[in-house]
Structure 1
Amino acid sequence: MTLRFRDDGTFRVLQMADIQDGPDVNKDTIRLIEAAVRAADPDLVVFTGDQIRGYDPAYINTFLRRRGEEPGAQVRLITEIEARLYGFKRRNPKVAELADRVADRLEERDRNAPAVLTDDEPPTMDELMNETRNKVRRTFAAFLAPIVDAGVPFAATYGNHDFQCGILIDEQDDMYREFPGCLNPPTVTSKAADETRYAIAAEDGDGRPDDPLACAPGTFALPIESADGSGRIAMAVMMVNSGDYAGKPEENDAEYPAYIANSRGLDLADSDGYGTPSPEAIAWLGGVQHELGARNGDGQPVPAIAFQHIPPQEFYDCLTEVPAWTPNAVEGARTHAGHCYVLNDAVCRPGSRLGEAIGCADENVGQVEAMRQAGGYFALFCGHDHKNAFVGHVHGMDLGYAPTCGFECYGPKSRLRGVRLFEFHESDPAAYETRMLTWGDLIGRYSRNELRVFFEDHCITDAIGLRNELRRPSVFTTLVGLGAAALVGVAAMITRLFKR
């Protein structure tokens, strides 16, 4: 499928971030996607990761905290609780085997006791994985339906929660391609397949993989051709897999007791923090510009915007450090903890919002610098931090966010959840226009479950979250008012006691 600027020289892209849902996608999320597609009339939709709520109780039997673990072996506490609330029965074979061993010991102790029987034969892991595959397909089918029905092409990269359902992203990539309009290119990930691929390329005489525009699942380029039909690449959209978590699973075994005790807190940044794009992806960001320049015949990098899930550390350069008591300031995370920030209005576009800390990796792998050195890149947009919706210009390019467009995860008020619209002009793609298409603008002020959204907006999981809440003037004023009312009430009670 060829992407091309319209006859009027424009090209429209919708960025959808952090749908983060289970098999039964929230109806308000679908409603928002439908309304955004109708309002924007896009030429392309990009999903920037965490489409799948990998820790959803529906995936309790195949949940992966980290890559390389046994599916369903180390389930976080919050998922266990949710599973009980929603009636999901844990059916992991190892759990069933443990029950059988307990039953055998009881029977040995008292031969006269009746045998303990399970309701059903424990399923095999293959059966549980197939069940999860079908649930993932249901999720995809639900949120893709408005886009497929509208005939709009789409592309997807991945976040830190997608794989946690138990289905790794290379297989999810294959599932996306089952839907009409998917632009994710087939990629080869195994060593044997790579050797075969290079051998075929060598036979063709070029000595390289057959698709140099694709690096790995979630990392690939989408050229956008000129409106005149000449085939010249006027711009490119780059999708980048920004990784999931840092470190290796075996290095975190010692952390597991702490993970069980505070699974929600550690799941958000794990013990070693978030991941980064692979070294191959960083190198590809430059190499793909050489390829596009060669295709145009001039060797020049093409104007390009990149989309990924986890932001690099340079996003903090869009902020200004302020005293801890500054209203609406947010405290930084991990390597930036102990410092409070607000948006730097000198570099940020009007309408920008900072609602939480920037959840970047602890390590700076030089992605932004690599993009600057490659040339052509004018913007990098992310998701991941559900309450952020700012656009700042630093290091010679725009760094920006789209907030969550989902209603099954934490985020801002209903009216602020939304989808980011971009309009590019062939004459100067870097001079693009962008704005949020929010629930408040498209549908109304409140969602169907405003109580849940209120909790998600004010959810506190640690001391930093508590301090950030207290910096919100509306929260601080409410607490002061309640405290004053309580003091008045206590004073009135004491006065009545003394009068007796």
Structure 2
Amino acid sequence: MLRYILEKFMIVFSELIYFIFEREKQDKLSQKFKLKFRKDGTFKIIQFTDIHARPKKNEKTISLMESVLKSEKPDLVILTGDCIDGRYCRSEEVVKNVIHNIASVMEKYKVPWSVALGNHDCEFCSLNREQQLEIYMSYDYNLSQRFSRVIGRAGDYNLLIMDSKDSKAVFNIFMMDSGDYCFRGYDYITKRQIHWYESLSNKLEKNFHKKIPSFMFFHIPLRQQKIIGKSGAFHGNRNENECVQAVDRGLFDSLKKMGNVKAVFCGHDHTNDYYGDIDGITLGYGRCSGYNGYCKEGFSRGARAFVIDEKNLEKLNTYVVLDES
């Protein structure tokens, strides 16, 4: 019994030290450079997801990404996990090369971009989540941050978007690390991450004297996504059962309570791209972008676009961009 108590004490103590260290590290982090609405009052986001890059460069995937950036001319690109397939990327050199194949697309077009990791990025890979985000962050136009309050996670951060006059922040993006696997299946957003989201939301509201409308992005869908899928009340395609987070620690309830996040978009399920509303919040998928992962015949790869209107920040305007090659 004494040994058990000591073990529990050491676990709690080590987590407390980690929490203090990470909290201090977060306070020192800042957004690398500003994002702002265009002069016409719009801001466009492109979501690529499930690229599944491997050591051999997939030219079809890269061509798709370049085509989307050229045609859509986004203000921000967001990658929602499984950017690389860690099962094929066992060494640091290989990981750097594979990430470079992805990163070079956004860097070529000088588009700001950010990353949330998925379940395959670090699977059987020699580089952990913090180490991989460190590589992403080394690129000039990358806005990712490797902070998380949870041991073994990295990439809980936010991106503020200024108005077209560059005078004040009017929109916000929450990026979160939904992990990889747990004993019950796919990983999940933890209580500590939820507390981080609530604390940051309160801080933003205090600083700007109002709730800042926000989107949230991560890889593995919430359990509430399955409710929308089974209801049939959605826009888009549902071609497979939802592989959702194994545990619900209360993020969706927290989103309802805080009232700032209008939409949550994820990846993970390659042949779903639908979205729908539940309790006033939109939950949805991007469009699978990578040609290395599984797919369905006739279901084209692509990306999801979001166009935010400065004059109507509450309205969701989103569509899918398909590979026409």
Where 1:392 maps in the other structure, the secondary structure is: strand
Q: Which residue matches 1:2? A: 34
Q: Which residue matches 2:286? A: 402
Q: Percent identity?
A: 27
Letter aligned with residue 273 of structure 1: G
CA–CA distance in 2 between the matches of 1:283 and 1:412?
A: 38
For residue 364 of structure 1, report the CA deviation from its aligned partner: 1.4
CA–CA distance in 1 between the matches of 2:215 and 2:146?
A: 21
Letter aligned with residue 173 of structure 2: V
Letter aligned with residue 289 of structure 1: S
Q: Which residue matches 2:68? A: 36
Letter aligned with residue 229 of structure 1: D
Pick one of 315, 318, 325 that aligns with 2:225: 315
The structure with the largest strand share of the pair is 2
Letter aligned with residue 235 of structure 1: F
Q: Deviations over 1:144-201 (max 9, x none)?
A: 212101110110011111111221010011101111111013537799xxxxxxxxxx
Letter aligned with residue 218 of structure 1: G
For residue 411 of structure 1, report the CA deviation from its aligned partner: 1.3
Q: Which residue matches 2:239? A: 355
For residue 291 of structure 1, report the CA deviation from its aligned partner: 1.6
CA–CA distance in 1 between the matches of 2:116 and 2:213?
A: 20
Q: Which residue matches 2:97? A: 138
CA–CA distance in 2 between the matches of 1:380 and 1:286?
A: 15
Pick one of 135, 155, 170 that aligns with 1:175: 135
1:234 and 2:170 matched: yes
Counting only pairs closer than 5 Å after superposition, residues 107-118 of structure 1 correspond to structure 2 as none
Letter aligned with residue 348 of structure 1: F
CA–CA distance in 2 between the matches of 1:365 and 1:278?
A: 6
Q: Which is higher, the Rg of structure 1 or of structure 2? A: 1
Where 1:163 maps in the other structure, the secondary structure is: coil
Q: Which residue matches 1:370? A: 254
CA–CA distance in 2 between the matches of 1:135 and 1:4?
A: 35
For residue 412 of structure 1, report the CA deviation from its aligned partner: 2.8
Is 1:49–1:158's contact at 8 Å kept on the other side of the alignment? yes
Counting only pairs closer than 5 Å after superposition, residues 209-358 of structure 1 correspond to structure 2 as 217-230=154-167, 232-247=168-183, 272-296=184-208, 298=209, 300-320=210-230, 344=232, 347-349=233-235, 352-358=236-242
Q: Deviations over 1:86-109 (max 9, x none)?
A: xxxxxxxxxxxxxxxxxxxxxxxx
Is 1:48–1:159's contact at 8 Å kept on the other side of the alignment? yes
Letter aligned with residue 353 of structure 1: N
CA–CA distance in 2 between the matches of 1:55 and 1:434?
A: 33
Letter aligned with residue 430 of structure 1: E
CA–CA distance in 1 between the matches of 2:255 and 2:53?
A: 32
TM-aligned CA distance change 1:159 to 1:40, over 3 Å: same
CA–CA distance in 2 between the matches of 1:239 and 1:138?
A: 24
Q: Deviations over 1:322-373 (max 9, x none)?
A: xxxxxxxxxxxxxxxxxxxxx61xx313xx0001110012321111111111
Letter aligned with residue 141 of structure 1: H
TM-aligned CA distance change 1:379 to 1:409, over 3 Å: same
TM-aligned CA distance change 1:168 to 1:186, over 3 Å: closer
For structure 1, the 5+ residue unaligned runs are: 60-131, 192-215, 248-271, 321-342, 444-500
CA–CA distance in 2 between the matches of 1:153 and 1:171?
A: 20
CA–CA distance in 1 between the matches of 2:108 and 2:60?
A: 18
For residue 438 of structure 1, report the CA deviation from its aligned partner: 0.9
Q: Which residue matches 1:118? A: none
Where 1:288 maps in the other structure, the secondary structure is: helix
CA–CA distance in 2 between the matches of 1:233 and 1:142?
A: 33
Letter aligned with residue 169 of structure 2: I
TM-aligned CA distance change 1:190 to 1:244, over 3 Å: closer
Q: Which residue matches 1:160? A: 119
The 4+ residue runs of structure 1 with deviation greater than 3 A are 186-191
Where 2:306 maps in the other structure, the secondary structure is: strand
User: What is the TM-score when the length of structure 2 is the normalising length?
Assistant: 0.85
TM-aligned CA distance change 1:168 to 1:381, over 3 Å: same
The structure with the largest helix share of the pair is 1
For residue 278 of structure 1, report the CA deviation from its aligned partner: 2.3
For residue 413 of structure 1, report the CA deviation from its aligned partner: 3.4
For residue 414 of structure 1, report the CA deviation from its aligned partner: 6.1
Where 1:55 maps in the other structure, the secondary structure is: helix
CA–CA distance in 1 between the matches of 2:148 and 2:46?
A: 28
Q: Which residue matches 2:5? A: none
Is 1:243–1:278's contact at 8 Å kept on the other side of the alignment? no
Where 2:158 maps in the other structure, the secondary structure is: strand
Q: Which residue matches 1:438? A: 322
